[in-house]
Chains A and B, each alone.
Chain A
Amino acid sequence: MTGPSPDPMVAGDRQNTGRGRPGFKLDLARCVGCGACVLACRIENQLPMGVSWRRVLQVNQPRIGGGPTYHLSVACHHCENPPCVRACPSGALKKGPDGLVSLDSGRCIGCRYCEMACPFGAPSFDVDAGVMTKCHLCHHRLAEGSSPACVAACPTEALGYMPSHGGERAAGSKDEEERAEERQAEERQAEERQAEERKAFAPAAGIPGFGDPTGARPGYWVADPGGTIRSEWFLQLKALLGTEGEGPHDPA
């Protein structure tokens, strides 16, 4: 891996607002669903069976309409505005200044609200330990200057790591101040909401569909496969996956 190539989703007529966050990118034209990333994560982080920080979803596995199968390797997106953090009643989950959404298992009470709140089922419950676990971007490897284990293991180089992305916006859209204000308001609201939720200490039941480990929910963000789009079908798929919704990649 020669380091992440420029992200085509944010390249072009856009400006950097300096609000990037770290994350993964996946080239759908390259991912063959081989699962090496899943196993590399398991080995690196010594995850017991039953706990998975990364999964590979298959989209259109039966190749309906003659369209291809796409494989989506998914882990935590370290969302810009993470619902898991808001759902966590104990303060175990935090969005750090570096953009990393981290989990302090010492503070985790094992209520699994974050798992329900995450649109991607990214947090993974360790039944034996009774605590939640999740992707920490292999920060120990990043500190050594290498990429996360899953990225390093991907034999097709479909999976990439971006130290900073998602802070860019299209030229001509809202200016930076407007956006910053909105953001602050959002953050305030989020904090208030979180405080309230903590007080109430729980929605009683899970939200249907949330945390569903097999559902590729809308809002999932995919990288454009670098000019190798070969079918109409792919564009449809991309439209399906790249749409609105509170996703990890808030539309600029």
Chain B
Amino acid sequence: MNRRIVRTVCPRNCYCTCGMLVTVEDGRIVRIEGDPENPATAGEVCLKGLSYVERVSHPDRLTSPLRRKKNGELESVSWDEALDRIVAALWAIRKESGPLAVLHYEGSGSHGALSGLAEAFWNPYGGVTRPHGDLCWPAGLEATRLTYGANWHNHPILTRDSRFILLWGHNPAETNIHQWRLILEAQEEGATLAVVDPRSTDSTDAADVHLQPRPGTDGALALGMAQVIVAEGLHDADFLRDHALGVEPYLECISAFPLERTSSITGLEAEEIRTLARAYARGNPALLVAGFGLQRHRHAGQAMRAVALLPALTGKLGIPGGGWQYANLSSHCLGPPPLLPSSEGTQTRSFPTSRLGRSLQHLRDPPLRAAWFEKANPVSQHPRTKEVIRGFAGLELVVVVDQFLTDTARLAHYVLPAKSLFEEEDLVTAYWHPYLQLRQKVLDAPVGVNTETQIWRELCLRFGFTTEAFDMDPMERLRAMLPEGHEDALEGLRERPMDLSNRGEVAWEDHEFETPSGRVEFTSEAATQLWGVDSVPSYEAPPEGYESELANRYPLQLLTCKTRERIHSQFGNLDGIREVERPRVLDIHPEDATSRGLEEGDVARIWNGRGSAEAPVHINPGLRKGVIHVLEGRCVPDDPWVNLVTGDGITDMGYGATFYECRVEVEPA
């Protein structure tokens, strides 16, 4: 028996970005374990990581290009046939309407530095239309950047040193399992855990303190807490004097949030807010971890700034076990792939990604005629899905590259089978730990599957473009993308994940911030210049908030959160996952259910002006009244299609999406 163990990395859009050891026996993956050399994820991968054993050789995996026939069905065709036709269409469209009539959309379904190779086709093509912004997290990134100058935080393992942990809109027990293990260890050492979340989750279950504010009011809560902290003299005056900018206007801003007002906005008891503010300010060391949940609203950036300033106000930065944790981009140090043809003279155009549906239909000069989707499933993952589907209907050519027949692939004209993470080497960065990891090649792609690198190369050949960028040795290509002075790291990366940032484990230990002023910016002129918001992190009620006009017609607030068994619409097709995953239900507070005549197990219709979705009712007293929740997912026909209901708003900064700002009504189906 031929047996080998290969070190690689999970490239999913997941906090953990686990190092993995893959055991291959006679060309088949038989075991996946955590890489003990990655200190942040040491030892174990999650359920999804294990499920690659099933996924990589799943019978539904696509191993031949598909083409839509006249009668609407998909049929297998050869690669040559598929690529020749695609190229003919791309050629004609460029000639008639210019390159901007084509959309290139790359999602976050699989992370890797090689995705930059797409430029080697689109640059000589003359450019392409692309979305900008991100569906997931950009408001928080921009808020952190404006406040601290960079997205960085303490090394995850320092979580253990914390004695007060405040999780805000974050549920690591389900979505950042390795962080959860560290939190458990801190708790066992006596740390107090507080969670701000309108839902009850596996994380809130373990919490000592759980606050359930109205969704979208986090900014007000943070300002109200700051008001308590300052009023009671719990702030760090020395830190503010030496390292902060614009404290006076900020103090004025928070003075508008006395407890009574904060309480009436957030729907929390004044006492709860005061207790949390005091406990956090006194916690030593105290860590504040913000998730993505609280920045999926219109005024998300301002809210995130307000929350992000609490550690600065209380002098908790630069301390092991303390700090602000949102995203750590220390590993994002790679350059573009080498030998890319120049982008000079190419045309570009973009639209906020949240608006995909409407952009597909309404962009002009030129209108979009073709779209290329990879690592993405926008037909179920984008807000206002109906608009996306309408947009698809007007396209002459939709190409989808994927491993499975996703919701989006089902609407394509051509589906090209994609490689799995094991079938091509790549470099993978993370956003929670600081490690760059090498995704070593474990297996050859199955017969009939070409890597994206090969697909782009084939397109270039057919167009007569240079293939220089594709023709170099794969490992040498990766080496050339490493930061200067670290070219030899590739050998090291075979043995272990590496932190090439050399920034140390404690973020901003020296209190040197990368903002224009070098200080923590309580007042940010850049925020006003770039995004047109107040320079202080003022609070504004969300357009679909509880006191909005819409709230009369649609009294419930829909949240569509994530959990452990899926990354968005991935993994739901695997038997090993389906065996252990919980049913996709509509969580609703008992009072909200009773007043609508809904009982456990009934099928409910969730609707608003944008559309409707159905889901079985689960009575959940752990939810805040007035809030309902459905786990987001799809690709599996029985998953509720929640994005038929969500809106395509854009966050105040970073061009994010506003998934969690969604007013609905619910009724028996």
Contacts and interface: CB of A to CB of B under 8 A. Distances in A.
A39 B188 contact: no
Interface string A38-76: 111011100001001000101000111010110100000
Interface of A: 1, 29-30, 32-36, 38-40, 42-44, 49, 52, 56, 58, 62-64, 66, 68-69, 71, 152-157, 226-228, 230
B180 A43 contact: no
A110 to B, nearest CB: 23
A228 B193 CA distance: 12
A155 B181 contact: yes
B162 to A, nearest CB: 15
| Nearest 3 interchain pairs by C-beta | A35-B580, A68-B205, A63-B622
Residue of B178, B180, B618 most packed against chain A (CB within 10 A): B180
10 contacts: A29-B184, A29-B206, A35-B580, A38-B579, A39-B51, A43-B576, A63-B620, A71-B202, A156-B181, A157-B43
A35 B581 contact: yes
Given A153-B50, A226-B188, A63 B200 contact: yes
Nearest to B53: A43
A32 B180 contact: yes
Nearest to B173: A32
A43 B50 contact: yes
A1 B46 CA distance: 15
Contact of B620 (A52, A62, A226, A227): A62
Contacts of B34: 155
B621 A64 contact: yes
Contacts of A52: 579
A29 B208 CA distance: 13
Contacts of B206: 29, 68, 230
Contacts of A71: 202
Nearest to B187: A228
A250 to B, nearest CB: 29
Contacts of B174: 32, 34
A69 B205 contact: yes
B31 interface: yes
Contact of B564 (A34, A38, A58, A226): A34
Nearest to A153: B44
Interface of B: 30-34, 43-47, 50-51, 53-54, 173-174, 177-178, 180-181, 184, 187-188, 200, 202, 205-206, 208, 564-565, 575-577, 579-582, 618-622
A36 B576 CA distance: 10
B47 A34 contact: yes
A39 B47 contact: yes
B620 A155 contact: no
Given A63-B622, A68-B206, A30 B184 contact: yes
B621 A38 contact: no
Nearest to B205: A68
Nearest to B41: A155
Contacts of B30: 43
A64 B208 CA distance: 17
A154 B44 contact: yes
A56 B202 contact: no
Contacts of A42: 576, 579
B45 to A, nearest CB: 7
Contacts of A226: 188
A234 to B, nearest CB: 10
Nearest to A48: B575
A69 B181 contact: no
Contacts of A30: 181, 184
A12 to B, nearest CB: 18
B335 to A, nearest CB: 33
B619 A36 contact: no
A157 B53 CA distance: 22
Contact of B202 (A69, A152, A155): A69
Nearest to A156: B181
Given A39-B580, A68-B206, A32 B31 contact: no
Given A32-B202, A69-B202, A40 B621 contact: no
Contacts of B53: 43
Residue of B46, B177, B200, B205 most packed against chain A (CB within 10 A): B205
B59 to A, nearest CB: 13
A168 to B, nearest CB: 23
A62 B593 CA distance: 14
A248 B268 CA distance: 46
Given A152-B33, A156-B184, A34 B621 contact: no
B565 A35 contact: yes
Given A32-B173, A63-B200, A43 B31 contact: yes
Contact of B46 (A43, A56, A62, A155): A155
A154 to B, nearest CB: 7
Nearest to A149: B31
B57 to A, nearest CB: 12
B178 A155 contact: yes
Contacts of B32: 43
Given A43-B30, A154-B44, A228-B188, 12 more contacts: A30-B181, A32-B174, A34-B580, A35-B564, A38-B580, A39-B577, A39-B579, A62-B619, A63-B200, A64-B621, A71-B202, A153-B33
A230 B50 contact: no
B45 A66 contact: no
A52 B576 CA distance: 10
Contact of A35 (B45, B47, B205): B47
B621 A66 contact: yes
A68 B177 CA distance: 18
Nearest to B590: A62
A39 B50 CA distance: 7
Given A1-B43, A63-B622, A228-B188, A39 B180 contact: no
A131 B200 CA distance: 42
Contact of B579 (A1, A49, A58, A66): A49
A59 B187 CA distance: 22
Contacts of A228: 187-188
A32 B181 CA distance: 10
A38 B51 CA distance: 11
B12 to A, nearest CB: 14
Contact of B576 (A1, A39, A68): A39
B177 A34 contact: yes
Given A39-B51, A43-B50, A63-B621, A152 B579 contact: no
B181 A44 contact: no
